[in-house]
Structure 1
């Protein structure tokens, strides 16, 4: 006898991956903790994370959208202002550093810089420049709106049962003066780029690990019963400032994020990892869950990911019920529901001279 003789079929590549039809591959996630349907669930992270909250709500779970839209906005206006996308109006949070930053401002002893970008008489928040597309009439109003969001984070974290956070990038731009991290490069979505002030960085494993550990610790200090479920976005980098090829830069970024998420999940009972990245980008799926740009995940792909998620919560196989009719049904048939429109970093493709 040897240890491999008693392993189940899911432990072997041939029986778990190579032989089954790709849509029948299941048993990919065994949750470490239960998520009660009545427990408030918060979502935050990269643009892929915006699919998770509405899916939870549709499934009958208690997804908590803390900042609700004012009455009278159209569906397009709500979408443009990032209502209904995440639990908070922080906009996309791509890096562990920016998650730690928001939680430190809301729950810790750090204070956000009182700096706002002015364009054509309107003021924009550098740390969520796309959330209010028309800006604010004054810096005071922009600051007041940020305080509303920070208060919402404090309240929601204190009441939540689970925080689902989707890691997206390791690349980021930092303010040399304050040390704060921007969600996107100044001068792209908003603002003006200043080479003397704005510094590029590509976070390493130790740096991401430190920031994510600190973020989890801040949240748990505010709410000791909070569980954290980590995922990694399958959406590749729109562009890289490292000088590397976009493919290898994406591989580095996702590898670091996946490794950090796995490490924290191994170290803490209150941290788990859900494999949305593997479900979309894994070998057996042959990129069928991407739009033709090989970046935007199709609605069928999002549905497939969430079906595995709910199957795991219910401790059942992600079987044939509700699955696409076949591989052809999983392929893109048109545009997705918003696509890159809500991904701040997608604006970088505008600067592609190729």
Structure 2
């Protein structure tokens, strides 16, 4: 008797390799997958504007990178003793305006370079709802805990999302003729919008994404949303807030991602990297024993062999830990 509805995830072609340059942007679920790619030593830049939930803010950020946009003091606002940008997540916010600007512009400059060189752009869409400032109609990527009365909320249409992403991609493809784009839709449920409203929002995102994927040869879709919502389909796989997938669910999605999206050579290399990372987490009862010294020496050799064979993989921290220097 089957208690879960599983489904095959189609392999990505072309697939992701360790030598690829990757840029990830989007919702908090992009952070989860992006952090795992970083941990496993892929060449990643993750969310240069911080977490972005709606597709129009993501498209706008990409246009800004391609423009080489630099932010000025006039682009920031002060709220609750911190400087913020309407285009950025609050992780860029801070009490010193010049520091906030420097961090924003340094991240944007790195994103400009990465986007023009990227082999893969991975975009995770979170919500079709956007917030607009009542005073001037400006769309904001993050409300920064400004009172709700300052905004009105709008549900985007699929056509609006398609137009924004389509315009961004036409320009990107002109400036970067090798980049592929992988779309995902976040399985995080935005119940603050309402359960019915969240489902409608996700449906609009899915409609827009599949329209675009069917239109361009260099666009792909990975079913992170379906893996959580239709395959796992159980609150045991959510955190206590019943909204965010828990570590087990994220690992399940990651396992499918590596199997479907990584090149077979990259899959084998990822396993070697994982073995070293697990050894790095080992905590010996007595680090002075000959057995532990042998353990360190064995893994120092593994790190040396791996980095000599694959010099594009950075493992300086692991080399120092195992005493390979």
TM superposition score normalised by structure 2: 0.72
1:38 is matched with 19
Among 84, 96, 100, the residue aligned to 1:124: 84
2:207 is matched with 259
2:255 is matched with 307
Residues 129-188 of structure 1: CA deviation (Å, up to 9, x unaligned):
51135x1423x5433432222211111111211011100001111236665421233xxx
User: Unaligned 5+ residue runs, structure 1?
Assistant: 1-18, 66-85, 241-245, 317-321, 323-354
1:92 and 2:51 correspond: yes
Q: Mark the CA change 1:137 to 1:32 in structure 2 (over 3 Å): closer, same or farther.
A: same
Helix, strand or coil: the match of 1:293?
coil
Helix, strand or coil: the match of 2:9?
coil
Q: Tell whether the 8 Å contact from 2:24 to 2:34 is kept in structure 1 after alignment.
A: yes
CA distance in 2, matches of 1:314, 1:151: 28
2:166 is matched with 213
Q: Tell whether the 8 Å contact from 2:66 to 2:172 is kept in structure 1 after alignment.
A: yes
Helix, strand or coil: the match of 2:152?
strand
Q: Tell whether the 8 Å contact from 2:184 to 2:225 is kept in structure 1 after alignment.
A: yes
1:105 and 2:43 correspond: no
Q: Tell whether the 8 Å contact from 1:33 to 1:270 is kept in structure 2 after alignment.
A: no
Work out the number of aligned pairs and report it.
Answer: 265
1:22 and 2:17 correspond: no
Residues 179-198 of structure 1: CA deviation (Å, up to 9, x unaligned):
5421233xxx3445564xx3
Q: Tell whether the 8 Å contact from 2:55 to 2:165 is kept in structure 1 after alignment.
A: yes
1:268 and 2:249 correspond: no
CA distance in 2, matches of 1:157, 1:118: 30
Shift of 1:43: 1.2
What does residue range 256-335 of structure 1 map to in structure 2 within 5 Å? Answer: 256-282=204-230, 285-313=233-261
CA distance in 1, matches of 2:257, 2:89: 31
Among 54, 63, 67, the residue aligned to 2:35: 54
User: Unaligned 5+ residue runs, structure 2?
Assistant: 265-270, 272-325
1:182 and 2:140 correspond: yes
Shift of 1:285: 3.0
CA distance in 2, matches of 1:150, 1:34: 27
Q: Tell whether the 8 Å contact from 2:68 to 2:112 is kept in structure 1 after alignment.
A: no
Bigger mean CA deviation after superposition, 110-119 or 300-309 = 110-119
1:237 is matched with 190
Q: Mark the CA change 1:180 to 1:285 in structure 2 (over 3 Å): closer, same or farther.
A: same
Q: Tell whether the 8 Å contact from 1:46 to 1:233 is kept in structure 2 after alignment.
A: yes
Helix, strand or coil: the match of 2:75?
coil
CA distance in 1, matches of 2:31, 2:89: 17
More helix by share: 2
Q: Mark the CA change 1:144 to 1:193 in structure 2 (over 3 Å): closer, same or farther.
A: farther
TM superposition score normalised by structure 1: 0.67
CA distance in 1, matches of 2:250, 2:4: 15
Helix, strand or coil: the match of 2:237?
coil
Residues 222-246 of structure 1: CA deviation (Å, up to 9, x unaligned):
3111100000000111412xxxxx1
What does residue range 6-17 of structure 1 map to in structure 2 within 5 Å? Answer: none
RMSD: 2.8
Q: Tell whether the 8 Å contact from 2:120 to 2:182 is kept in structure 1 after alignment.
A: yes
Q: Tell whether the 8 Å contact from 2:18 to 2:43 is kept in structure 1 after alignment.
A: no
